[in-house]
Amino acid sequence: MSENCIFCKIVNKEIPSELIYEDEKLIVFKDIRPQAPVHLLIVPRKHIRSINDLKPEDHAIAGDMLIAAQKIAKLVGVDKNGYKLNFHVEKGGGQEVFHLHMHLVGGWEK
């Protein structure tokens, strides 16, 4: 855990969030500034600053995030109509919270 990381605080239930799903490796919650009808953040419990900081021993985390996205998309009903998965990497790539996370966005009308 990084002491000043807001996502670490959400993972540790120090800050409330609109929780959608959690397991031993990940937590999924609603983005506080949604860009779509469905805008969720898939966040590993382990603090990893960004994709640039993934280590070989973290390779399973990326796969877990993708499998969770598939499960969550079905859970929230966007799996059939479609959704987007996005990673923002570093400040120039739009990353605002420096804890690895993936955006799941969707829910637009056909």
Residue 70 CB neighbour total at 10 angstroms: 13
Give catalytic status of residue 47 as yes or no: no
Residue 63 CB neighbour total at 10 angstroms: 9
86 contacts: CB under 8 Å, gap ≥ 6: 102, 103, 105
From the candidates 39, 99, 101, 103, which is the catalytic residue? 101
Q: Which residues are annotated as catalytic?
A: 101
